[in-house]
Structure 1
Amino acid sequence: MIVALEHLRQVFDALPYPIFAKNAKHQWIYGNTAFEHLIGTKDYIGKDDTAYFPMEQVKVFRTQDRRVFGSEESLNEEEIGEGLFALTRKMPLTLPDGSVGLVAIILATLKSDKNRTDRSWISEALKREPAAQAEHLESTWSQRTEELQKRLNAVESMHSSTLQIARTDTATGLMNRLGFDAELEKAIHAAKETGKPFGVAFIDVDRFKQINDRFGHAAGDKVLTAVGRRLNELPDVFAVARWGGDEFALLTELPNIGQEALRQGFEEARQYAFRPVKDHNRRINISGSAGMSVYPDDATDPEELMRYADIALIQAKQSGRGRVVLFDHKLNEAEKRRTQIMRDLPEAITNGEIVPYYQPIICTSKRLVRGVEALARWTHKDFGPIDPAELFELAHMCTMAGDLDKHLRGKAFEQVKPWLDNGLINYLSLNISPQDIACEDFATKLLGRLAAMAISPEQICVEILESAIVGDLESAQANLEQLSSAGVQIALDDYGTGFSNLRALLDLPLDKLKLDQSLVRALGANNKVANLLTSIMELAKAMNVRVVAEGIETRLQSTFVTSIGCDLMQGYLFSQPLPYAQMDAWLFEYREKVA
Structure 2
Amino acid sequence: MLSRPWRYTLLIMMVVISAASVYVSFKRHAEATRILSEDIKTSSWAAAQLEIDYLHFQHNLAMYSEKLVSKEDMLLTFDLLWSRVNILSIGKETLQFRQLEGSQKLLTDLKGLLQDAEPALVSNEQVSPERARQIRDGFARLFPSIRLLHVQSYNGSERMAGIDKAHILELDTQYFMLGLLGSGAFLVFMIFRESSKNRHLAMHDALTRLPNRVYFKRSLEAAAQDADKSGLSVAVHIVDLNNFKEINDVYGHAVGDAFLIKVAERLQGLAQGKNRAARLGGDEFALIQGGIEGRNEAEQRAWQICEVITEPLMIQDIVFYPRASVGVSLYPDDDGNITQTQLNADVAMYQAKSEQGMSYRFFDAQMNEDLKRRKQLADALEKAINNNQLNLLYQPIFNMTSGKMVGVEALVRWHSEEFGTISPEEIVTTSEQAGLANIFNHWVLTTACKQAVAWHTMEYFVAVSVNISPSMYTDHDLVSMVEEVLESTQLQSQYLMLEVTEDTTMQDIESSPHILRGLSSLGVSLALDDFGTGYSSLSHLKSLPVQRLKIDKSFIQDLFDSPSDLRFITTILQLAESLGLNVVAEGIELDKQRIALISQGCVLGQGYLFSRPVSADSITQLLIPQSSCVDKLQGVVSNM
TM score, norm. by length of structure 2:
0.53
* Partner residue in 1 for 2:327: 292
In 2, Cα distance between equivalents of 1:264 and 1:525: 39
* Partner residue in 2 for 1:271: 310
Read off the aligned partner of 1:203 and give its amino acid letter: V
Counterpart secondary structure, 1:290 = strand
* Partner residue in 2 for 1:312: 348
| Unpaired stretches in structure 1, ≥5 consecutive residues | 1-164
Give the drift of 1:541. 1.5
In 1, Cα distance between equivalents of 2:383 and 2:511: 30
Q: Residues 376 and 388 of structure 1 are in contact (CA less than 8 Å); yes or no, is this contact kept in structure 2?
A: yes
* Partner residue in 1 for 2:420: 384
Give the drift of 1:507. 2.5
Counterpart secondary structure, 2:602 = coil
In 1, Cα distance between equivalents of 2:358 and 2:569: 26
Q: Residues 511 and 545 of structure 1 are in contact (CA less than 8 Å); yes or no, is this contact kept in structure 2?
A: yes
Give the drift of 1:284. 11
Instruction: Show CA shifts across 1:14-60 (max 9, x none).
Output: xxxxxxxxxxxxxxxxxxxxxxxxxxxxxxxxxxxxxxxxxxxxxxx
Give the drift of 1:292. 3.0
1:286 to 1:347, Cα distance in 2 relative to 1, 3 A = farther
1:173 to 1:548, Cα distance in 2 relative to 1, 3 A = closer
Higher mean C-alpha deviation, range 244-253 or range 574-583? 244-253
1:330 to 1:544, Cα distance in 2 relative to 1, 3 A = same
Match of 1:350 among 370, 377, 386: 386
Counterpart secondary structure, 2:588 = coil
Q: Residues 180 and 239 of structure 1 are in contact (CA less than 8 Å); yes or no, is this contact kept in structure 2?
A: no
* Partner residue in 2 for 1:43: none
Give the drift of 1:267. 4.8
Read off the aligned partner of 2:468 and give its amino acid letter: I
Work out whether 1:562 is the aligned partner of 2:598: yes
Match of 1:462 among 491, 498, 512: 498
Work out whether 1:524 is the aligned partner of 2:563: no
Q: Residues 420 and 426 of structure 1 are in contact (CA less than 8 Å); yes or no, is this contact kept in structure 2?
A: yes
Give the drift of 1:529. 1.5
Whose helix proportion is higher, 1 or 2?
Answer: 2
Give the drift of 1:531. 1.7
In 2, Cα distance between equivalents of 1:587 and 1:500: 37
Counterpart secondary structure, 2:494 = helix
Give the drift of 1:449. 4.0
Q: CA RMSD in A?
A: 4.7
* Partner residue in 1 for 2:542: 506
1:548 to 1:241, Cα distance in 2 relative to 1, 3 A = same
* Partner residue in 2 for 1:546: 582
* Partner residue in 2 for 1:248: 286
1:436 to 1:311, Cα distance in 2 relative to 1, 3 A = closer
- How many pairs does the alignment contain? 414
Instruction: Name the larger-Rg structure.
Output: 2
* Partner residue in 1 for 2:210: 172
Instruction: Show CA shifts across 1:202-258 (max 9, x none).
Output: 1145779x98xx869xx96x86664344135569998343274452125499999xx
1:299 to 1:367, Cα distance in 2 relative to 1, 3 A = same
| Unpaired stretches in structure 2, ≥5 consecutive residues | 1-198, 635-640
In 2, Cα distance between equivalents of 1:473 and 1:271: 30
Higher mean C-alpha deviation, range 475-484 or range 384-393? 475-484
In 2, Cα distance between equivalents of 1:235 and 1:476: 36
* Partner residue in 1 for 2:99: none
Give the drift of 1:569. 1.2
Q: Residues 328 and 360 of structure 2 are in contact (CA less than 8 Å); yes or no, is this contact kept in structure 1?
A: no
Give the drift of 1:465. 1.9
Match of 1:577 among 613, 618, 623: 613
- Tell me which of the two structures has the higher relative contact order, counting C-alpha pairs closer than 8 angstroms and 6 or more residues apart: 2
* Partner residue in 1 for 2:402: 366
Counterpart secondary structure, 1:357 = strand
Q: Residues 302 and 326 of structure 2 are in contact (CA less than 8 Å); yes or no, is this contact kept in structure 1?
A: no
Give the drift of 1:288. 6.3
Q: Residues 357 and 577 of structure 1 are in contact (CA less than 8 Å); yes or no, is this contact kept in structure 2?
A: yes
Counterpart secondary structure, 2:614 = coil
Give the drift of 1:497. 0.6
Give the drift of 1:306. 4.4
TM score, norm. by length of structure 1:
0.57
Give the drift of 1:355. 2.6
1:269 to 1:381, Cα distance in 2 relative to 1, 3 A = farther
1:293 to 1:172, Cα distance in 2 relative to 1, 3 A = closer
* Partner residue in 1 for 2:411: 375
Alignment of 1:118-267 (within 5 A): 171-172=209-210, 176-177=216-217, 179=219, 200-204=236-240, 226-231=262-267, 233=269, 239-242=275-278, 244-245=280-281, 246-251=284-289, 267=306
Give the drift of 1:419. 2.8
In 2, Cα distance between equivalents of 1:507 and 1:180: 41
Match of 2:440 among 393, 400, 404: 404
Identical positions, percent: 27
1:269 to 1:554, Cα distance in 2 relative to 1, 3 A = farther
Give the drift of 1:270. 3.8
Read off the aligned partner of 1:541 and give its amino acid letter: E
Q: Residues 420 and 459 of structure 1 are in contact (CA less than 8 Å); yes or no, is this contact kept in structure 2?
A: no
